[in-house]
Amino acid sequence: MALPTQTIQAIAVSPGIAIGRTTRIIDQSRHWEPQLHKITADEVDSELSRYVAALALTRTQLINLRKEVRDKLQAQDAEIFDAHIMIVDDHKLNAEVEKGIKTDHFSAEYALYITSEHVANVFSAMPDEYLRERSADIRDVTSRILSNLTNIQVPGQELDLDARRIIVAHSLSPSETAELDIEKVLGFAVETGSVTSHAAILARSMHLPAIVGIPPELPEQLTADDKIIIDGFGGKLVINPDARTEEAYRLKKAEVGQIRSRLESESELQPETTDGFIVQLAANLDSPDKIAEVKRCGASGIGLFRTEYLFMNRSTLPNEEEQFEVYKKILAECDNAPLIVRTLDVGGDKFNTNIYRANEQNPFLGFRGIRLCLHERRDILETQLRALLRAGVFGNLKIMLPMVSSIREVIEVRSIVGQLQHQLKSEGKEYVSDLSLGVMVETPAAALMADKLAPLVDFFSIGSNDLVQYTMAIDRGNERVAYLYRPSHPAILELIRVCVDAARKHNIWVSVCGQIAADVYMVPLLIGLGVHELSMTPSSVAVVRRVIRSMAMYEMEQAAQAALNCTNATDALAIAEVLINQRVPEVANI
Ligand code: PEP
Ligand code: MG
C-alpha cells in the first residue's frame, strides 16, 4: 500500500532532482524486523512453498559465492560460506519456522525472523567468544533469506531493476556506491552519512542526486508503488507528491539544467577575477574512467586522484605493472597538465577488507592513510610509489600524502622514495628523479605544524573534509552531527590562514581539494585567504569559474578578513552570502 503524501526534511549531499519509483536496499548490518503478519489456514501451503523456494535460492546464491571466493581468494576465505550453507540446511531451525507457519499461522518472514532471533540471542549470550560470534552468521543468513522472500535488494547483489529507480537504504558504503549502475539508478536517499562521507563524494562525481538523514524506518515502509522526489539542493524527500509539487520540481530541474549548461559553455574562459588574478581550478578524479569529464570541464589539471578506488571492489591488490599502466595512461590524457596522485588512503569509511583487517572502535581516528601504509602495509606504499616514479616520466606528476599528522611521516616517505629511486636506477628503469611531493593538510596537527612541514614539501593540499571532521570533532559519516559541519567556522578559517601564511613564507603553493572548494560561499573566503588552487568534482568547475569571474580579489580578501574576525560560522557565512548575492545571485541555489 502506498504511503500518504508527505515531505521529509533530510540533508542534501549531492545536487540535482530525481523523480521516480523506489527500490529499497536492506542493509545487512542492520537487522530488518518483519512485522507480525498472520495468514489464513488456506494460505499455509503456499507460505510453506514460498519458504522452501527462498531457502533453495539462498543455498544456490551461497554456493555460487563460495565458488567465486574460492576462485579469487584462498580456500579458507570461502569457509564462511560452508557455515552459512549449514545454517540454511539446519533441520531444527527449519522445523521451527515451518511450525510457526503451520501452527501459529505466521507469515514465512515473521516465522523465520522470530525463530532465528531466538537462536541468535542464545548464541549472543554464550561466554565463548567464537560461539558468540555465530549469532552474526545466523542474522546474516536470515537477512539473505528474508531478502529472497521479499524480493528486497541486499547490498552486494546486483540491482535487478526494470526501470531506473531511486535507491532508499539505511546506508551505502563507498564500494556499494561505486558499484551502482548509473543506467539503472536515478539517485539515492539514505539514513547515514554527511556531505563529506565518501558515498556522497561519489554521488556527486556520478551526478546522482542524493540526500542523507532520512528516518530509519523509511526504507522498510516504502514499496515499489511509492513515487518519490529527491531534492538534492534543499535536502528534501517528497513521498507520493501531488501533481502541483511534482510539476514544480520538474520546472526547477529544467531551470537548473539551463543555468548549468550556460555555465558549462564557458569552459574555455579563464578563472580570472575581475581585477586580473588567475585562480587554478583543478578537478578531483575518483576513477580513471572519468578523465573525459575532467577534460570537458576545462580544469587546469587533476588536483586529487583518489587512488583507493583502484583498490576497491576487487579481491586482489593492483600490482606495480597494473598501476604503472593506469598512471601512465592518465598522464598521457592530461597532456602535461599537472596530475596530483594521492597515495592510498584506506581506512575510515573507505574500508577494504583485503588491506585493512583491524576492527577498530574509531576507524576515522585509527590506522588510516599514511599511518597504515608506513607501519603495516609498507609493501603497498612501495609498490604504489615505484609505479608512480616510473609513470612520472610520462607527464607532470605530483604525489601527495594523506592523513599526515607529524613531520616524521614525511621524512620517512622521503627516505622510502630515495631508496626506491636508487632501486629503479640499479634496475636500469626510467624514473622521476626530482619528485614533487606534497602533503594533505587534513589534521589540525598538520595545519598547526605547517611552518615546519613547508620546508620539507613542494605544496600543501588542504583536505577540508577531514580537516573539518578532526577540528570540529564530528564523524563525517554520522548524520546526527552533520549540523556541526560548518566549514565557515572561524576555527577552520584560522587553520587555513595559518597554512597559507606558512606556505607563503616558504614559497610553496596551497590547494584545497575537499568539498569546500566547490562550495560557492566558501570560494570567496578561500581565495581571499590566499589559496592558489581549488580542486573539485568536475561538475562543479563551471559554477566555481563563474564565481571567480564575478568578483575582485580585494573584495574576497576583505570578506575573508571579516570572516576570520567573526565569532561564529553563521556570521562568517553571512559575509560570503552578501558577496555572492550581490555579484552572482544565479549560483546561489544550484
Ligand atoms: C579531504 O579530506 O578533504 C579529502 C579531499 O580527502 P577524502 O575526502 O578522500 O578523505
Ligand atoms: Mg581526507
User: Does any domain span residue 330?
Assistant: yes
* Domain co-membership, 212 together with 309: no
Verify whether residue 513 is a known catalytic residue: yes
* Domain co-membership, 169 together with 129: no
User: Does any domain span residue 68?
Assistant: yes
Q: What is the CA radius of gyration of the chain?
A: 26
* pTM for the whole structure: 0.78
User: Does any domain span residue 562?
Assistant: no
Question: What's the 335 CA to ligand 1 centre distance in angstroms?
Answer: 25
User: Chunked in runs of 10, what are the mean pLDDT values of the chain (590 residues)?
Assistant: 89 96 65 75 91 90 76 63 87 94 93 92 78 76 81 50 81 78 91 90 92 91 88 97 97 94 95 98 93 94 95 83 97 97 89 67 90 94 98 98 98 98 98 98 98 98 97 93 95 98 98 97 98 97 98 98 98 97 91
Picking from 93, 127, 150, the residue at the C-terminal end of a domain is 150
* Domain co-membership, 72 together with 177: no
User: Does any domain span residue 384?
Assistant: yes
User: Does any domain span residue 116?
Assistant: yes
The reported pLDDT for the residue numbered 135 is 77
Q: What is the CATH number of the domain that holds 136?
A: 1.10.274.10
Q: Is 466 in the pocket of ligand 1 (CB under 6 A)?
A: yes
Q: Is 513 in the pocket of ligand 1 (CB under 6 A)?
A: yes
Distance CA 181, CA 293 (A): 18
The three-class DSSP label of residue 466 is: helix
The reported pLDDT for the residue numbered 360 is 80
Q: What is the CATH number of the domain that holds 237?
A: 3.50.30.10
Verify whether residue 373 is a known catalytic residue: no
Q: What are phi and psi of 493, to 5 degrees?
A: -60, -40
Question: What's the 463 CA to ligand 2 centre distance in angstroms?
Answer: 5
* Domain co-membership, 372 together with 303: yes
The reported pLDDT for the residue numbered 153 is 55
Picking from 92, 117, 150, the residue at the C-terminal end of a domain is 150
Of 197, 205, 306, best ligand 1 pocket probe by most atoms within 8 Å of the beta carbon: 306
Distance CA 214, CA 9 (A): 8
Which ligand 1 atom is the nearest neighbour of the CA of 513? 5
The reported pLDDT for the residue numbered 157 is 47
Q: What is the CATH number of the domain that holds 448?
A: 3.20.20.60
| Sign of the four-CA dihedral 384, 389, 395, 397 | positive
Strands (E), 141-291: 165-169, 185-190, 210-212, 227-231, 236-239, 280-285
- Active-site position among 297, 334, 373, 513: 513
Which ligand 1 atom is the nearest neighbour of the CA of 198? 8
Q: Which ligand is nearest to the CA of 462?
A: 1
User: Does any domain span residue 558?
Assistant: no
Of 465, 474, 511, best ligand 1 pocket probe by most atoms within 8 Å of the beta carbon: 465
Nearest by Cα to 476 from 485, 463, 486, 487: 485
Query: For the chain, how many structural domains are there in total?
Result: 3
User: Model confidence over 193-243: pLDDT tens digits?
Assistant: 999 988 899 899 889 999 999 999 898 888 877 899 999 999 999 999 999
* Domain co-membership, 79 together with 207: no
Which ligand 1 atom is the nearest neighbour of the CA of 304? 5
Which ligand 1 atom is the nearest neighbour of the CA of 284? 5
Q: What are phi and psi of 21, to 5 degrees?
A: -85, 165
Question: What's the 463 CA to ligand 1 centre distance in angstroms?
Answer: 5
User: Does any domain span residue 127?
Assistant: yes
Q: What residues contact residue 472 under an 8 Å CB cut-off, 6+ apart?
A: 484, 485, 486, 489, 491, 492
User: Does any domain span residue 552?
Assistant: no
The three-class DSSP label of residue 306 is: strand
* Domain co-membership, 341 together with 388: yes
Structural domain harbouring 350: 275-531
Minimal-distance CA residue to ligand 1 atom 1: 463
Distance CA 134, CA 119 (A): 10
* Domain co-membership, 219 together with 85: no
User: Model confidence over 273-331: pLDDT tens digits?
Assistant: 999 999 999 999 988 889 999 999 999 999 999 999 898 877 678 999 999 999 999 99
Helix pair 407-426, 378-391: axis angle to 10 deg = 60
* Domain co-membership, 279 together with 384: yes
Question: What's the 281 CA to ligand 1 centre distance in angstroms?
Answer: 17
* Domain co-membership, 333 together with 453: yes
Question: What's the 198 CA to ligand 2 centre distance in angstroms?
Answer: 10
Picking from 531, 563, 585, the residue at the C-terminal end of a domain is 531
* Domain co-membership, 514 together with 403: yes
* Domain co-membership, 188 together with 280: no
The reported pLDDT for the residue numbered 322 is 96
- Which residues are registered as beta bridge partners of 398? 340, 436
Q: What is the DSSP string of 482-519?
A: GGG--TT-HHHHHHHHHHHHHHHHTT-EEEE-SGGGG-
* Domain co-membership, 55 together with 204: no
Contact criterion met (CB below 8 Å) for 352 and 312: yes
Q: Is 514 in the pocket of ligand 1 (CB under 6 A)?
A: yes
